[in-house]
Structure 1
Amino acid sequence: MERGRCMGKVYLVGAGPGDPGLITLKGIRCIREADVILYDRLVSPQLLVEAKREAEIIYCGKGPDCHFMNQNEINSLLTRYAREGKIVTRLKGGDPFVYGRGGEEAEVLAKNHIAFEIVPGVTSGVGACAYAGIPLTHRYISSTVVFVTGHYCDEKKIRWDNIASIETVVIYMGINQAVYIEQQMISNGRSPNTPICIIQEGTTSRQRVLTGELKDLSLIIEKHRVKSPGLIVIGEVVRMRSIISWFM
């Protein structure tokens, strides 16, 4: 990492889905060399131990019902510190470019002529499923997979008629929209008996995995009081968990 004469640089780093061991070597290097670290709610605290003693560490997490710092404020901090000539690491849970607003932040940096790099991470849709013993694809079961956000799923932005036919469906941020997701998948042709899995706090020591059928999705979430962060997986690949489950 080279510091420019006048302008600093921003690294948008994926910290992985929860297990601190899943961050990349480059991601660790970005943490160690940063002057400023802006980190999200789902970043493991163990990763922050890697920061140098004099680094400024700023929490800017967002929860389902509470944003400690809004996106415009985060964008302003990234540009301000870079203009001060500092190396800035923006540490995000999962991957910056998969429901991580990394694209928005990179766009702001580009428009302000600030140097940046993207450091990919393991997104929770991949990592949490792996730790739950669920392969997203399988030669004999599923050759297609789609990632969907549940955050706007009750609006007309998502084509459920297309999604319902895809073999493996992974839904981020959908715990609070379970009733709607269940209704949309079934009304658009998915069998009510399709296997489903809910993964809460995947890849961590607090991981919880619940399985059942699509028609019971919302009931399972309500009965077990599932809270965010959580993933919903829909498809026949869920059955593989009974064979290859390995974590917890």
Structure 2
Amino acid sequence: MPLEMGKVRLVGAGPGTVDLMTVRALRAVETAQALLYDALVADEILALAPAGCVRIQTGKRAGKTSMKQETINRLMLRLARRGLNVVRLKGGDPSVFGRSGEERAFLEAHGVEVDVVPGVTAASAAAAQFAFPLSHRGEARRIAFATARVQDGSVVEGGWSGLADAETTLILYMARDAARAAAARLMAEGRAPGTPALAVENAGREDARILSTTLSMLGEDVENAAFSGPVLLVVGEVASQARAAYAPSLRAASARS
């Protein structure tokens, strides 16, 4: 008798701490029979999985060797065909640069039922942790989430002209190595060099660090900070409200004066 097809849940682990996971995400991990997790998922979250759970690290960390997306897709399908309850565990929210659309489309095309469980994304975690809003009346009417990929020293994605608007809070994910090129492109598109900017490392975690600077100095300051963890860049007037109340602050601008 053939096995009943298992189900796959694409689960957002949030920014890294258990207490910022949703209840639904917590229950999904606690009942998983197979867990495919990204490199940035914290050990305390992985420890929630039951003892008999199959655990497979898929990598998916910027700049590091990781499992190819096609391989991950095939692995989820193979585990589901074995009748297992599969959890694909991703940092942040699976629908924010988490390839949830690709994975859902592949699995559903092969007859696998898919659930998406949202999570707290890094931008929301950084804003809460360092006391600044993402939108603000009179300053920020729009929020734009983007990534910045660099080739030969220049950012390659289009659409940068729309990100130069002074009333837009721009959030750049996976941007540690692209800070200089992204800042240069934004200024070339007309964003003011003095626009407040932040770089947040390990947003939402106890070891988070924040760097407060301006757009013109963003690239240099990020390079000098020598961040090793995932970095989120925030560009916009709301960045001037940030406070380093809960974690070490890198006051690059103050140090220069």
TM range (shorter): over 0.9
Match of 2:68 among 67, 70, 78: 70
Q: How does 1:132-211 map to 2 (within 5 A)?
A: 132-151=130-149, 154=154, 156-165=156-165, 166-211=167-212
Query: What SS does the corresponding residue of 1:180 show, helix, strand or coil?
Result: helix
In 2, the alpha carbon distance for the partners of 1:220 and 1:58 equals 36
TM-score (norm 2): 0.90
Letter in 1 for 2:105: E
Query: How far is 1:48 from its partner?
Result: 1.5
**Matching residue of 1:126:** 124
Query: How far is 1:67 from its partner?
Result: 2.6
TM-score (norm 1): 0.93
In 2, the alpha carbon distance for the partners of 1:110 and 1:86 equals 16
Query: How far is 1:5 from its partner?
Result: 6.2
Query: How far is 1:66 from its partner?
Result: 2.2
Query: How far is 1:202 from its partner?
Result: 1.0
Deviations 1:1-34 (CA, angstroms, capped at 9, x unpaired): xxx9610000000000122211111111111111
Letter in 1 for 2:84: K
Deviations 1:22-68 (CA, angstroms, capped at 9, x unpaired): 11111111111111000111111111111111111111112223233
Query: How far is 1:156 from its partner?
Result: 4.6
Letter in 2 for 1:148: A
Letter in 2 for 1:18: G
Structure 1: segments with no counterpart, 5+ residues: none
CA RMSD of aligned residues (A): 1.7
Query: What SS does the corresponding residue of 1:60 show, helix, strand or coil?
Result: strand
The answer to whether the 8 Å contact 1:7/1:84 transfers is: yes
Letter in 2 for 1:235: G
Which stretch has the larger CA shift, 172-181 or 112-121?
A: 172-181
**Matching residue of 1:237:** 238
Q: Relative to structure 1, is the Cα distance of residues 147 and 20 closer, same or farther in structure 2, using a 3 angstrom cutoff?
A: same
**Matching residue of 2:94:** 96
Letter in 2 for 1:247: Y
**Matching residue of 2:82:** 84
Query: What SS does the corresponding residue of 1:38 show, helix, strand or coil?
Result: strand
Q: Between the two proteins, what is the percent identity of the paired residues?
A: 35
Query: How far is 1:216 from its partner?
Result: 0.3
In 2, the alpha carbon distance for the partners of 1:220 and 1:111 equals 46
Query: How far is 1:163 from its partner?
Result: 0.9
